[in-house]
A and B are shown apart, each in its own frame.
Chain A
Amino acid sequence: MFLDSDLALSALRALTPILLAALGGAICERAGVFNIGLEGMMLMGCFTAVTTSWFTGSPWLGVLAAALAAAAYSLILAVGAVTLKGDAVVLGVAMNLLAVGLTSFLLRTVFGVQGTFDDPDLAGLGEIAGFSPLTWLSWGAVAVAAVLLSRHAWGLRLRGVGETPEAAATLGVSPAKYKYGAVLASGVLCGLAGAQLALGNVTLFSENMTAGRGWIAVVAVMLGRALPLGVLLAALLFGLAEAAGFRLQGLGLPQQATDAAPYVVTLIALFLTTAKRRRKTGAVV
């Protein structure tokens, strides 16, 4: 059978890290900070989660430490882009590069291994009703973010700061404060995404283990128009495309073709959503 429950489970496992990171990206986008450092923050989360779980024996402390470490790492973007008014794209790229080098270096220094740290005694996150606890948390986070952004005063101010910072400032809202908050929140979410990947999806750390998931999250933010529900749907689409790709290999499709599945899906989705939007708004360009 091609469409079986295994496919759905596989898709949901692929979804969680991307969804958490993409939610972080969406919050930043709403606050007017273009965050492409998701990949790097996630990788910092992976490493911190594994290190903390290994030395304390508690995967939960690992999750907590991953969230804190990635939030601290996200300060590079907050200070650089908000306080120093640097280019967020350059900062994001630098953060991604730095994270790969830094975690590889720390892997050698802390564990004395190169490439991968894996040990049968490393404690991973268990499952609650078939899913990692962070999977459940990610669904909750989508709901909270959706309500906050559309209904709560914080969310409205955050969006105001993102759309017209000058107007927000004249109303007594500090754009810098909200932008810092958004970037730190994305750090926390990416840290959780990293913890899910390194202690949930698998229980190990290997260099560059995020393997482009942060970039997929960046695309999910754009595809989902930075709306929490839109981001959820976009991330789900990627998860499904990836899981379906694995199954298609089983049916004899070459790997090079199944590799392209998520990107083909992205392009189709982009075409369809932009065409629909254009009809709705009647925009010419």
Chain B
Amino acid sequence: MPGRSRRTLQFAALAAGTALVLTGCNAAAKKGESGEKGSKAFTLVTPDPVGQNEFLKLAVTGVKSAAKAHGGTSKVYQSSDSASQQQNLQAAVDAAPDAVVLVGFEFADAVAQQAEAHPKQQFLMVDACTKESFENVACATFREHEGVFLAGAEAGLLSKSGKVGAVDVLDTPQFRRYSDPFAAGAKHVDAKARASTRFVGGQSPFDDSARAKEQAGSLIAKGTDHIMAAAAAGNYGVFEAAKAKGTFAYGVDVNQCPSAPGTVVDNVVKRTDVAVRDGIKHILGGDAGKNVSYGLEEGGITLTGLEKDVAGSKCVIAKHEDVLKKIAELRDEIVDGKLKVDDPAAA
């Protein structure tokens, strides 16, 4: 039946085409934000639209403040899918700015190719790194485990049941940075504290908030009253589960307290803006290709509770000044090297 199959194809093509148009149209349209011409130029390429994404907003802040500090201009290329990531990276390299800044592991392979093809172009990768090292690729990575340890200590100090837990995305060393140090932190302040971890897993572990909620529920059913939420979109499910049972949760990357005020105690914040600003400074200062890791000491990792605007953060921790005092002491011990936090991803 040739007629029939041709029709099928037409239909499929139409449907697929519509999907492409709908998802792809942001890619090209949202470029821009160029300022006046200066001596230095920086381009930030994001893996997703910035929109309300707090993590990427911070990266934009970082590249803007770098431009201001060095009297230059900044551009932001927002991607919406893997195809537009490639196109935007290519467009950024073609314009040959002083630094191309990329956020996210999505760019690792593409940057490696571009760095080899354009040895004079300087790249800054944030929150990821290329597999091989290149002289013109600087990487800014984070020591999330230091912040998670402090959040765990908060949980240990605040927990009434003495049981804390974490809902994590996947059981890999990199993601264990969000669960193992949480347990270690709780045990550091309360030797009797018990900790357990659930991994979301499943077919799409990053999107499945219903599964994350069930995982959190199973922890709460066992008496856990403070839960580290490191489940990407699933975090909202964890917050719902905690709220329903009057227990508490901890967010990641940005201040997540406003999405469940009274439930979210604190957040392990990744200051992408600090990493971008400092990374550009290193590149301009002749330290190109240098890899820097950001933790508590560099101010790249912090807790919302340790920031200046904690009072307006809607976080539960704002009401516990005594706990915050102890947490600040622990932070200083980690910064001074007196206290060492084990990194699950260090092999």
Distance of A229 Cα from B240 Cα, bound (Å): 32
Q: Is the CB of A246 within 8 A of B218?
A: yes
Q: Is the CB of B11 within 8 A of A116?
A: no
Distance of A108 Cα from B221 Cα, bound (Å): 36
Interface residues, chain B, with chain A CB atoms under 8 Å away: 4-5, 7-9, 11-12, 15-16, 18-20, 22-23, 26, 48-49, 51-53, 170-171, 196, 198-199, 201-204, 207-211, 213-215, 217-219, 221-222, 233, 236-237, 240, 259-261
Tell me whether chain B's interface is mostly helix, strand or loop, or mixed: helix
Interface string of A85-100 (1 = CB under 8 A from B): 1110011011101101
Distance of A4 Cα from B196 Cα, bound (Å): 19
Q: Identify which of A59-67, A249-257, A266-274 touches chain B.
A: A249-257
Chain A residue contacts of B19, Cβ below 8 A: 94, 97-98, 100-102
Q: State whether the Cβ of A114 lies closer than 8 Å to any Cβ in chain B.
A: yes
Q: Is the CB of A209 within 8 A of B208?
A: yes
Q: A86-B7, A101-B22, A211-B207 are in contact. List 5 more A-B contacts (CB 8 A).
A: A98-B15, A114-B48, A211-B204, A243-B214, A259-B202
Distance of A212 Cα from B7 Cα, bound (Å): 28
Contact of B261 among A94, A97, A120 (CB under 8 A): A120
Chain A residue contacts of B209, Cβ below 8 A: 116, 202, 204, 206, 209
Q: State whether the Cβ of A84 lies closer than 8 Å to any Cβ in chain B.
A: yes
Q: Is the CB of A108 within 8 A of B237?
A: no
Chain A residue contacts of B18, Cβ below 8 A: 98
Q: Is the CB of A204 within 8 A of B217?
A: no
Q: Is the CB of B199 within 8 A of A206?
A: no
Interface residues, chain A, with chain B CB atoms under 8 Å away: 4, 6, 10, 13-14, 17, 76, 80, 84-87, 90-91, 93-95, 97-98, 100-102, 104-105, 108, 112-116, 118-120, 197, 201-204, 206-209, 211-212, 215, 242-243, 246-247, 249-250, 254-256, 258-259
Tell me whether chain A's interface is mostly helix, strand or loop, or mixed: helix
Q: Is the CB of A105 within 8 A of B23?
A: yes
Q: Is the CB of A197 within 8 A of B210?
A: yes
Distance of A102 Cα from B219 Cα, bound (Å): 35
Q: Is the CB of B210 within 8 A of A97?
A: no
Distance of A13 Cα from B51 Cα, bound (Å): 33
Q: Is the CB of B236 within 8 A of A112?
A: no
Distance of A212 Cα from B205 Cα, bound (Å): 11
In the complex, which of the residues A17, A87, A112, A114 has the most CB atoms of chain B within 10 Å of its own CB atom?
A114
